[in-house]
A = this chain, B = another copy of it.
């Protein structure tokens, strides 16, 4: 297909497609004449992948470039290529809030407590420490008390993710599955978490307000609101 059709098929404007080719995100089309190139289904899919990583996953052009380089690399060790891809999609720490040494210890304790095979200085451990230190800095340090609930939920999600990756796992598509599953999976998780919040909040606060109790107090004490506990 010509570039106009590729653009119609994917909803990506022609100048943007050309930009992605220049930036090395999208392979150039096959030249059919000196000023005309032909594209195929692999370009359609790749463009959708690029836009998904950017629009849904919030990745920048330069991170997408790094990620796709890992996806395209002829793999030496699966674990190593996965590591490179995971490194590229791990948000880098911008500013270091106060109190990091103590929070880092807490994160390392959590990793030990759960028996996870993770280096305590993994970039995501650092990202976690920054988030928890930020909670502390604004007076919400007790958020740390529910970190194990998050960890248990994430063990379940990671098991489902790995099983899904396993079902896809032609070695060829493995790295791409991991990248896509991680980046788009974050968006899925965030959206579903908000839906679950709406449900839990509707049950708790509407009850509290209907019953005439002070909203905050009702929420604080209603430990066993229907539908939020024990699932």
Q: Does the CB pair B198–A118 fall under 8 Å?
A: yes
Stretch at the interface among A18-26, A28-36, A61-69, A125-133: A125-133
Residues of chain B within 8 A (CB-CB) of A135 are: 52, 180, 184
- CB contacts under 8 Å to B, within A199-224, are 199-206, 209, 214-217, 219-223
- Contact residue among B153, B169, B201, B222 (Cβ-Cβ distance under 8 Å from A216): B169
**Is B196 a contact of A154 with CB atoms below 8 Å?**
yes
Contact A169 B128 (CB under 8 A): no
Contact yes or no, A90 B194, CB < 8 A: yes
Q: Do A79 and B206 touch across chains, with their CB atoms under 8 A apart?
A: yes
Chain B residues, Cβ within 8 Å of A38 = none
A166 CB, nearest partner CB in chain B, Å = 4
State how many copies of this chain the complex holds: 2
Q: Is A97 an interface residue (CB 8 A)?
A: yes
Neighbouring B residues of A165 by C-beta, 8 Å:
219
Would you call B79 and A209 a contact (CB within 8 A)?
Answer: yes
Q: Pick the 4 closest A-B CB pairs, nearest first.
A: A169-B216, A149-B160, A158-B196, A128-B191
* 18 A–B contacts from the bound complex (CB under 8 Å): A52-B97, A52-B138, A56-B131, A124-B195, A124-B198, A131-B191, A142-B167, A142-B168, A143-B181, A146-B160, A147-B188, A149-B157, A153-B189, A155-B196, A157-B193, A158-B193, A162-B228, A182-B197
Q: Point out residues on A near B: beta carbons under 8 Å.
A: 11, 45, 48-49, 51-52, 55-56, 58, 77-79, 82, 86, 90-91, 94-95, 97, 111, 114-118, 122, 124-125, 127-128, 130-132, 134-135, 137-140, 142-143, 145-147, 149-171, 174, 177-178, 180-182, 184-206, 209, 214-217, 219-223, 225, 227-229, 231
